[in-house]
């Protein structure tokens, strides 16, 4: 996963992505009051594009909250014509906010993923749950070794600043990746490495730049397990 691959995916799926962005913008109008969407636009779009590209049979999402990231993933599975999403969360709000036509391809697991986890042999793993070092230690020690080689993984809330916050989930994750020589990609604006600006330019060229949400950090990190 690198910037060139992301650019290629944007170009390849631009028309489908435009339709998905319209649908998500419409869905967001139903997220009112305490119902919040958390994933920023570019990181949500890259998630959609990566799921399109990987064509997973089984996706695991850890941390669904009200279902915003789940709906981006489910729209990719729908457009692929195949695949099922398993979401884990302590709260079941997403059960009420994921539209019925998308929920058909989803199973919700209510509770702490550390207790509820069962081996689903996922082909794609999305993590946006507790942002503590302790939680990151759990998944790098228990979850990652159980995943097959080549599994695409993404983890949210790593780059809200140029570097991960010391002793945070992001710090534990990035050290784990560095020690194993695993390359990662982020479009995070605070990273200041040019990726965010390049993708903003590309999205403008493709007519995909109108914001859906107003936050622009995009702190998610994407990598592939060796
Ligand atoms: C930042 S929110 C997820 C936002 C969501 N991905 C979105 O795009 O809107 C984090 C979620 O992780 C859940 N969570 C935290 N620790 C968890 C755990 N140990 N097991 C399962 N879910 C957990 C929380 O209940 C919360 O709903």
**Residue 1 clears pLDDT 90, i.e. is over it:** no
Q: What atom in ligand 1 is closest to the CA of residue 44?
A: 8
pTM: 0.97
Domains and CATH numbers, the chain: 3-224 (3.40.50.150)
- Residue 89, ligand 1, Cβ within 6 A: yes
Q: What atom in ligand 1 is closest to the CA of residue 89?
A: 22
Using one digit for the tens of pLDDT, what is the confidence trace for 89-140?
999 999 999 999 999 999 999 999 999 998 889 999 999 999 999 999 999 9
How far away, in angstroms, is 113 Cα from ligand 1 center?
10
CB atoms within 10 A of CB 108: 18
Using one digit for the tens of pLDDT, what is the confidence trace for 42-62?
999 999 999 999 999 999 999
How far away, in angstroms, is 129 Cα from ligand 1 center?
4
Cα angle 188-63-221, degrees, rounded to a multiple of 5: 25
- Residue 174, ligand 1, Cβ within 6 A: no
Residues ≥6 apart with Cβ < 8 Å to 74 = 85, 98, 102, 103, 105, 106
Residues 31 and 211: their CA atoms lie apart, in Å, by: 16
The Cβ-side half-sphere exposure at 181, using a 13 Å CA radius, reads 1
Using one digit for the tens of pLDDT, what is the confidence trace for 178-225?
999 999 999 999 999 999 999 999 999 999 999 999 999 999 999 999
């Amino acid at each position: 996963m690198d910037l060139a691959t992301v650019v290629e995916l944007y170009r390849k799926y631009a028309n489908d992505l435009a339709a998905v962005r319209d649908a998500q913008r419409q869905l967001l109008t139903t997220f009112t009051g305490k119902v919040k969407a958390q994933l920023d636009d570019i990181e949500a779009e890259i998630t959609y594009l990566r799921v399109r590209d990987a064509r997973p049979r089984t996706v695991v999402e850890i941390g669904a909250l009200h279902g915003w990231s789940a709906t981006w993933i489910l729209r990719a599975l729908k457009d692929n014509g195949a695949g099922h999403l398993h979401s884990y969360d302590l709260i079941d709000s997403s059960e009420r906010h994921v539209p019925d036509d998308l929920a058909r391809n989803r199973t919700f697991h209510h509770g702490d993923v550390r207790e509820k986890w069962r081996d689903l042999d996922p082909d794609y793993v999305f993590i946006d749950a507790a942002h503590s070092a302790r939680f990151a230690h759990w998944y790098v020690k228990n979850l990652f070794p159980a995943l097959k080689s080549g599994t695409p993984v993404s983890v949210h809330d790593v780059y809200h600043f140029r570097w991960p916050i010391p002793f945070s989930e992001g710090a534990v994750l990035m050290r784990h990746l560095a020690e194993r020589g695993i390359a990662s990609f982020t479009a995070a604006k605070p990273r200041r490495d040019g990726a965010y600006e390049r993708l903003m330019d590309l999205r403008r060229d493709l007519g995909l730049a109108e914001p859906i949400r107003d936050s622009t950090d995009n702190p998610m990190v994407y990598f592939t397990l060796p």
